[in-house]
Structure 1
């Protein structure tokens, strides 16, 4: 479920520098059985000349909790020179991966703690990721967030009980990706209502943490 928070409402987000160094991996994605050639070529056209680092789109961190607190998360990668090479963050920074720097440290800790306690109670996993607008565009945003969700392995293996909340204030877009194991408890209509009623009104005012936290708690209530 994707939403665009109209730039005619609220304050325009301040431009912040994203974290420059993101751990990445390189792979010949022709071997990627999870993505078809058309999908890969779509990303190649966007990122082939990018000086941003690249990552193996097959790479999955299924042991999600091990990534939390990993001090080696940052490092230099390569330029995207060859066909089929695309880049994504190799793994999350925690339950909340604020690559766009829209949250304070205390806010990130609060979101991480809330999600961690929820995961221990229910086994459901929720990831929040903010991305810099230079990483993608509005047209490719949905696929970008979905691919991150798949690559990071959000949700327990075999259960598909993960939710990924993808945000770009620069692109004025947000997407919530629900795993198949979540859909019985949380429908697309219910997800849209949470977006429309709780998240977007705050985002339009520039209150990104308030909107994210309110939406997060509402999602948790639905799938608890």
Structure 2
């Protein structure tokens, strides 16, 4: 291969890499940042009324506070060329949904029917939730709980039913971390001290070593 041919191939490879990185960067820009201030219901498509958003937000926050599991509801008008599953998982990674140590986050993604475009819905769950909600079960929630409401243009009803189904399915999977569980409680320390003091008193009062009939040393200490 002469230098001219080698240079031509190198230019083509370089161009391919540039185009690939550009396309990847453009697609990444299609994933929005979370709304500010922080919230679990990110209604970019404007599907819910204020009362509906508040109701969902309160339910999801209460569930997060009691279990540490984060369920995000995200609505968008455009998936930016992604399949709904890819979009939901990428969004979850970008936003850091769920606790990193437990991977217990979930994203309920809704893209409504706009014009001639097809409506889409998908539930993405972290590895920590897959024992209870795997892909097959998530798909069942979409089909059985969400779609019937969506067909009546009741997006809130569908999402609310999906959230309830997920909470029921995940019941008992995680509990919120408590500071008291990080170490021994003060009451436990007091009980231990009292037991040790009683043990020492009893040992000194009735545990003197003596010789039995066979001449072997014996003590009350096991």
TM-score range, shorter chain: 0.5 to 0.7
Greater fraction helix: 2
Report the secondary structure of 1:220's partner residue.
Answer: helix
CA contact (8 A) 2:146 2:162 kept: yes
Q: Of residues 213, 216, 220 in structure 1, which corresponds to 2:160?
A: 213
How far, CA to CA, are the matches of 1:165 and 1:39 in structure 2? 29
TM-score (norm 1): 0.60
State the Cα distance separating 1:175 from its structure 2 match: 1.1
Q: In structure 1, what is the Cα distance between the partners aligned to 2:161 and 2:109?
A: 15
Counterpart position of 2:146: 199
Work out whether 1:102 is the aligned partner of 2:47: yes
Partners of 1:189 and 1:140 in 2: how far apart? 17
After superposition, what is the alpha-carbon deviation per residue over 1:77-121, rounded to whole angstroms, capped at 9, x for unaligned? Answer: xxxxxxxxx243222451000000010111111100000000111
| Root mean square deviation of aligned Cα | 2.3
Structure 1: 5+ residue stretches without partners: 1-36, 49-56, 58-85
Cα gap change, 1:87 to 1:197, in 2 (>3 Å): closer
**Residue 117 (str. 1) matches residue 39 (str. 2):** no
Larger relative contact order (CA 8 Å, sep ≥ 6): 1
**CA shift at 1:177, angstroms?**
0.4
Asked if 1:156 corresponds to 2:103, the answer is no
Distance 2:31 2:100 in 1: 21
Shift of 1:39: 8.4
Which runs of 4 or more aligned residues in structure 1 lie more than 4 Å from their structure 2 counterparts after TM superposition?
A: 37-44
Contact 1:200–1:211 (CA under 8 A) maintained in structure 2: yes
In 2, distance between residues paired with 1:103 and 1:148?
A: 20
Q: How many residues align?
A: 148
Q: Give the corresponding residue for 2:127.
A: 180
Query: Is there any run of 5+ residues in structure 2 with no aligned partner, and where?
Result: 1-17, 172-222
